[in-house]
Homo-oligomer: A and B are copies of this chain.
């Protein structure tokens, strides 16, 4: 593990609860109303003016959020503007980047952006894997990002917050306007701690912008632009279940596991993502809940129409939502007071007085790899390429029961391995691995094994499933070809210690 990351000393992972922070939260700079417009109107002519007023200069840290997902046009416009202003050597601190940000590769190449700290989904991750970024990538969970800023590990000079609706004071939300995306919680820590906060909107409303998911009291300037991005890529019109028979089977197993393990009881709670398996899991679970007359107290988003149906059919009291994946999720959040916006502060921050993640009865997650000791990888593929962010994945490992729902192989490459390419989640926090070939329960969870003793579910060991898949796929997958002496990124644990290192992938020019 590197002892330094981008010039800062770092501690290695000390075990799940091994590191206890000392001292105090970061202290944002004091402001005074005397320095802000008396009428509350913080509108400036454009991004350039806002950045100039914010004191943009070389070497600063610029943050953005990813609620616009793959429809985000603002971040590209932001760095185009910065480039034109002749400023460079920046640290970009997004909550995540997406394929639409491939546009920014040019700014990594020309030194406008020195390095990225934040999830890199797709092309930027691949670029980093190829060893082309000066500086190390730092991968943090959603909660880890909040914590890093709160704890003073990352100081944001300028936060640029895409706001689907805002007023001229800077109050902002994500539930109104043409670019509506749902919650804006990923930008909360940026608003609270950055020296300067710029809100950019394509839907300016008269004060007050209600609800104010972002408080204008944190905001320095407001910019109106024509469009934040492509609404069809910000949220999907509708999220769809998987049609793969194997994945449907996994979803069904997970749902049956939740019932047979005794978790599906009145007042229970669950979280599942927006992937095809997760959505199908929700659909199966819903039928089981109706059949047994069971109602959940709350379900955690990312919200989709499937969660919204649970709420609207009275099968859950609340949706506690961190992001909305489809139009139904956005609409429900806007209209239904039982669909509640959450943030990494409420849900995931490990350096708080508890968080919501630990209170969830069962969470269903994905993974790119899992090893026979239940350690899991969620950021790199078998070939070593960094292609995914951690998201809330690590934070969710504190749920009362953690299920990885994964196919046993992908593209004929086995997923259950002897050692994961990158460690993102310690096996002691992962309780169950569900594949289409069987369900493996972590031996630490004797209670679950006992509960499933008479189940008709195919309960097996991870090693058994691994062996079967190896024989199907022609043996163990090839080890990723990486330069062990050349780190390109690090994976933080939720407490800020370093869990693993990602190395440069050896590429052959003809293939890449």
A residues with a Cβ closer than 8 A to B are 17, 20-40, 42, 150-151, 169-170, 197, 206-208, 210-212, 215-220, 267, 297-298, 318, 320, 337-338, 340, 345-346, 349-356, 358-359, 398, 400, 495
Q: Which of these, B151, B210, B355, contacts A217 with CB under 8 Å? A: B355
* Inter-subunit contact B359/A207 (CB<8 Å): yes
B210 near A353 with CB under 8 A, answer no
The residue in chain B whose Cβ has the minimal distance to the Cβ of A24 is B27
Tell me whether A36 and B216 are in contact (CB under 8 A): no
**Number of copies of this chain in the oligomer?**
2
Contact check, A206 vs B297: say whether CB atoms are below 8 A apart. Answer: yes
**Are B36 and A30 in touch, CB under 8 angstroms?**
no
Across the two chains, which residue of chain B brings its CB closest to A36?
A: B354
- Nearest 3 pairs of A and B residues by beta carbon: A24-B27, A17-B34, A27-B27
Closest to A335 in B: B337
Enumerate chain B residues within 8 angstroms of A398, measured Cβ to Cβ: 33, 38
List residues of chain B with CB within 8 A of the CB of A345. 215, 217
A292 CB, min distance to chain B CBs, angstroms: 19
CB < 8 Å neighbour of A22 from B30, B351, B352: B30
Chain B residues near A31 (CB, 8 Å)? 21, 351-353
A30 near B39 (CB under 8 angstroms)? no
A218–B170 CA distance with the chains assembled, in angstroms: 25
Provide the bound-state CA to CA distance between A17 and B34, in Å: 6
Closest to A37 in B: B354
- A79–B84 alpha-carbon span in the complex (Å): 62
Listed by A's residue number, 29 A-B pairs whose Cβ atoms lie within 8 Å are: A20-B35, A21-B32, A22-B30, A23-B29, A24-B27, A24-B29, A25-B27, A25-B30, A31-B353, A32-B352, A33-B358, A37-B354, A38-B358, A38-B398, A39-B358, A40-B356, A40-B359, A169-B356, A169-B359, A170-B353, A207-B359, A208-B297, A210-B318, A211-B337, A216-B346, A217-B346, A217-B349, A217-B354, A220-B353
Known contacts A217-B349, A218-B353, then 9 further A-B pairs from the complex at CB < 8 Å, ordered by chain A residue: A23-B30, A25-B29, A33-B398, A38-B358, A40-B359, A169-B359, A208-B297, A211-B337, A211-B340
Task: Give bound CA distance, A28 to B28, whole Å.
Answer: 11
Q: How far is the CB of A140 from chain B (nearest CB, A)?
A: 16
Given A206-B297, A340-B208; A30-B217 close (CB under 8 Å)? no
Which residue in chain B gives the minimum CB-CB distance to A350?
B33
B353 adjacent to A36 (CB under 8 Å): yes
**Which residue of chain B has its CB nearest to the CB of A395?**
B33
The residue that A337 contacts in the complex, of B37, B40, B337, with Cβ under 8 A, is B337
